[in-house]
Amino acid sequence: MESKTHHHNHSTTLCPEERLDQSLETLKEKGFKLTNKRREILEIFIDSDRYLTAKQVYQSLAEKYPTMSYNTTYRNLYDFVKIGLLESTEYQNEQLFRISCEGEDHHHHHFICTNCGKTIPLEICPMDHIQTDLSQVEVQMHRFEVFGLCADCKAKQEA
């Protein structure tokens, strides 16, 4: 059985401008037109660095782009997930999106605040602890997420 090493490295932190430039370069490489709307969607995620719903993204663009439809926003988010610019997950039947973590070889999981969408990387992978023999199968993907209230939201709730 081929052993896959999980990397948990957060040391390569780019500034927001570099992340945006890198993301726009990826868009171009994948054949997408660089529009102001796409740039602003990426800026929203880079600046917030948390999970957001498509509706939240749509609402923050609606004033500047009144003709932009919710479907266009949603389609762009899914395109960004397909090419690796965004990560997505689901919570209570709603799709959530965030800027992808940096680094080609990154591998970690997240604690996700159910109130504000803030994420905390979890430096453990349950795959490292599975006792079941998976040598006869090909694991293509796995996900492990913990949902709850971050310290700030918990403190506000208790106040």
Phi-psi region of 101 (alpha: psi -120 to 50; beta: other; left: phi over 0): beta
- How far is residue 55 from each of residues 33, 81, 146, 153, measured CA to CA in Å? 23, 16, 23, 21
> Would you say 107 is a known binding-site residue?
yes
> Would you say 125 is a known binding-site residue?
no
> Would you say 101 is a known binding-site residue?
no
Residues whose CB falls within 8 Å of the CB of residue 109, separated by 6 or more in sequence, listed in order = 121, 122, 124, 125, 126, 143, 144, 145, 146
Binding residues for Fe cation are 107, 142
Binding residues are 107, 113, 116, 142, 150, 153
Binding residues for Zn(2+) are 113, 116, 150, 153
